[in-house]
Amino acid sequence: MWELVKSGGWVMLPIILCSIAAAGIVIERLWTLRPSRVAPANLLAQVWQWLKDKKLNNQSLKELRAHSPLGQVLAAGLANSKHGREVMKECIEEAAARVIHELERYLNALGTIAGVAPLLGLLGTVLAMIDIFGAFMGSTSGANTQMLAGGIAKALITTAAGLIVAIPALFFHRFLTRRVDELVVGMEQEAIKLVEMLQGDREVDLVDAQAAASAARPSRKEGRKA
């Protein structure tokens, strides 16, 4: 492996750095963009239960903001629900813009790596080919077929390395972008439900809300026993 890296020349260094950066971004984003972390199930039902039990206060809003990105969006709407539908929607949109910005963090960098890595590989190949043909042109013994083939093979190492980095980076860039889109759509639907519930335009299934709350209580008791 080290011999291949040496054969590729100095261009292999930025390609390796790109691979390390891409791997770090992919691992971090896969962990951060888990649906259970970004938009937990039954969070809206739990919020409605708080409203029903009149337990929604500044402390619960603070806990909701710290709970998840969806909690930040819902908390922004709840904190401004008394100012009317339009103000509530504007506050939700502002909070959602901040949340989306955080969800899309590093994705542009990953897309840049996917585009730059093959170009770096091609650059390394072109530079190596220039050196190879320049050496043969200055040689008085003429070109040896085996030496020429071996030089071209070494020159193509950087192209292969660039593609090895770029293909997974491109795949995960598309995959993570799609996941962000799905999460945003889900949060948007939950926010719309919240606005309609508080403004009296949507009937809330209290059975679901109570079921969600009762499902959360045993887990808390188990956590205390543990």
Higher-confidence position of 74 and 215? 74
pLDDT band at 226 (very low <50, low <70, confident <90, very high): very low
Q: Tokens at residue 167, please? A: 């293909």
Q: What are phi and psi of 80, to 5 degrees?
A: -120, 20
Question: pTM higher than 0.75 for the full model?
Answer: yes
> What does the alpha-carbon distance between residue 215 and residue 202 come to, in Å, rounded to a whole number?
24
Q: Tokens at residue 136, please? A: 């043969």
Q: Is there a domain that residue 2 lies in?
A: no
> What does the alpha-carbon distance between residue 196 and residue 140 come to, in Å, rounded to a whole number?
84
Number of domains in the chain: 1
Complete DSSP assignment for 86-105: HHHHHHHHHHHHHHHHHHTT
For 154, the domain range is 7-225
State the Cα angle at 77 between 206 and 82, rounded to 5°.
Answer: 90
| pLDDT at residue 79, as a whole number | 85
> From its phi and psi, is residue 203 left (phi > 0), alpha (psi between -120 and 50) or beta?
beta
Q: Is the pLDDT of residue 25 over 50?
A: yes
pLDDT digits 0-9 by tens, 89-138: 888 899 999 999 999 999 999 999 999 999 999 998 888 888 777 766 65
| pLDDT at residue 210, as a whole number | 47
CA dihedral sign, ordered 72, 73, 76, 79: negative
Residues 6+ apart with CB under 8 A from 190: 39, 43, 44, 70, 73, 74
Q: Is there a domain that residue 165 lies in?
A: yes
Closest by CA position to 136, among listed 144, 126, 128: 144
Q: Is there a domain that residue 1 lies in?
A: no
Q: Is there a domain that residue 193 lies in?
A: yes
| pLDDT at residue 220, as a whole number | 41
pLDDT digits 0-9 by tens, 41-77: 888 888 888 888 777 788 888 888 888 999 999 888 8
Q: Is there a domain that residue 157 lies in?
A: yes
